[in-house]
Structure 1
Amino acid sequence: MAMPNLPMEGGCRCGRVRLRISAPPLLTMACHCRGCQKMSSSAYSLSVAIPSDCFAVIDGEPVIGGLHGELRHFFCGHCMSWMFTRADVMAGFVNLRPTMLDETGWFTPFVETYTCEKLGFADTGARHSYERFPPFEDYGRLAQEFAALEDARPSGA
């Protein structure tokens, strides 16, 4: 399924925190690390990297939970949905949980990380797999390849 037209909106489970993205993802990912397994109560977490200046909380106030240091996880303070992640080392983008968006059928992980901690049944179909995180120098190539793939898809409705 093609990505819907932008901007796209979404929110937490209870709807008290709403957000908007106004640019397509730089990458889509699944992380199999034990931390993400515990945070998501699942086999892996999903994320879309959105340019920071194209991401906005438009209603409500998310709270920091999970990790509180250089890497900060943001949740709805009421329903405790894990919504997005910000980190000092990734100041140019926000890692949004794509399941927070109102439309999710378009999402497919392009990259999977921490396959060294992957549960045996947890296949994502990602095009690229890394035992840990991709080397820093791979991100530019991955983003270019992902953008070319997205450009080739038909426009959303």
Structure 2
Amino acid sequence: MASTDTTPATGRCRCGTVRWRVDSPALAVSYCHCADCRRATGAPVTVFVGFAAERISFEEGRPQAHSRHAGVERLFCGGCGSPIGYRDAGLPGELYFYLGVMDEPERYRPQCHAFIDEAWRWLSLDDDLLRHQGLSRARQ
């Protein structure tokens, strides 16, 4: 388990059109170095924080979704275009937000790295976290 912190968490897109609240601990927090995440976010590495979907309430607006790969939806704000997160059919009942759109991102420390073979060579994250060649969590 990623966290035992039960303090409600909040997040929003850049323009504030989409806002949410989560009242459960994080399930997982992971760096992702895959090319698909880089293209979805425009960043050299992504950090996700996952929650039980049933514990997330969208208080304003709803994210739009785009799917390039079967079973995976990338969520974004239809107003400002901010990347918000993703849903993976292989992780049913879970929703993952990009850490940068959470209001208090420092609450969530990454636990591992995924797709480490796709990391850019010049990017050096000096930590002792577990490094996975592929996905950091098994899918159904």
Smaller-chain TM-score bracket: 0.7 to 0.9
SS of aligned partner of 2:25: coil
If the length of structure 1 is used for normalisation, what is the TM-score?
0.77
Structure 1, gaps ≥5 residues long: 138-157
Could you tell me how far apart the structure 2 residues matched to 1:25 and 1:126 are?
A: 21
Q: Partner residue of 2:41?
A: 40
SS of aligned partner of 1:90: coil
Q: Partner residue of 1:130?
A: 132
Q: Deviations over 1:58-84 (max 9, x none)?
A: 111211135364111110001111112
Shift of 1:56: 2.0
The 1:96/1:110 distance shift into structure 2, 3 A limit, reads: same
Contact (CA 8 Å) 1:39, 1:66: kept in 2 or not? Answer: no
Aligned-pair identity in percent equals: 22
Q: Partner residue of 1:93?
A: 94
Give the structure with the higher percent helix.
Answer: 1
Q: Give the total of aligned pairs.
A: 136
Shift of 1:134: 3.8
Structure 2, gaps ≥5 residues long: none
The 1:114/1:11 distance shift into structure 2, 3 A limit, reads: same
Greater mean alpha carbon deviation, residues 3-12 or residues 31-40: 3-12
Give the structure with the higher percent strand.
Answer: 2
Q: Partner residue of 2:85?
A: 84
Aligned AA (2:132): Y
The 1:69/1:126 distance shift into structure 2, 3 A limit, reads: farther
In angstroms, what is the RMSD of aligned CA positions?
A: 2.3
Could you tell me how far apart the structure 2 residues matched to 1:62 and 1:115 are?
A: 29
List aligned pairs for 1:7-156, cutoff 5 A. 7-65=8-66, 67=68, 69-120=70-121, 121-123=123-125, 125=127, 127-134=129-136, 136=138
SS of aligned partner of 1:19: strand
If the length of structure 2 is used for normalisation, what is the TM-score?
0.85
Structure possessing the higher radius of gyration over alpha carbons:
1
Contact (CA 8 Å) 1:21, 1:55: kept in 2 or not? Answer: yes
